[in-house]
Amino acid sequence: MLSENFVFLCFSHLTFSCPSLSFPVLSHPSPPYSAYEVIKLKGYTSWAIGLSVADLAESIMKNLRRVHPISTMIKGLYGIKEDVFLSVPCILGQNGISDVVKVTLTPDEEARLKKSADTLWGIQKELQF
């Protein structure tokens, strides 16, 4: 869970206000692989998440307006009619996502994207807050 101090620190550098954050917690009863198992098998743990977060933070704080794969609402894109969030290429700067980069998809890719959106919508519409 994000601490209030961390959220304040992140949002204090932006030009929009810090939202009131409330996230549902989805958990697995026990992680399928512990960090120790990963280290034993790979010899190290991956830094990918930390590096990705640092890259996103740099784009926001320096207003670099770089393209990143970010989960955002894609209603209206590629014929998707539901309020679902999928990871798509977005331009990220000090005001957050400024644009979604619309990639030309093959019919098969578009069908797969719609199937993913439908799957997520099926789960999402059952959630209650």
Q: Which residue has the higher pLDDT, 73 or 42?
A: 73
Helix or strand (DSSP H, E) at 111? helix 107-124
Where do the DSSP E strands lie in the chain? 66-73, 85-93, 96-100
Query: Hey, what CATH topology would domain 4-17+30-124 get?
Result: L-2-Hydroxyisocaproate Dehydrogenase; Chain A, domain 2 (3.90.110)
Residue 36's SS3 state is helix
What are the pLDDT digits (tens) for 63-100?
999 999 999 999 999 999 999 999 999 999 999 999 99
* Domain regions of the chain by residue span: 4-17+30-124
- Give the pLDDT confidence score for residue 50 in this predicted structure: 84
Residue 38: pLDDT band with limits 50, 70, 90 = low
Q: What is the mean pLDDT of residues 16-34?
A: 49
Q: What is the mean pLDDT of residues 7-24?
A: 49
**Residues facing 18 on adjacent strands:** none
Q: Which residue has the higher pLDDT, 97 or 9?
A: 97
* Both structure tokens of 8: 């304040």
- What distances in angstroms separate CA 108 from CA 18, 71, 81, 115, one per listed residue? 39, 21, 18, 10
Q: What is the mean pLDDT of residues 117-121?
A: 94
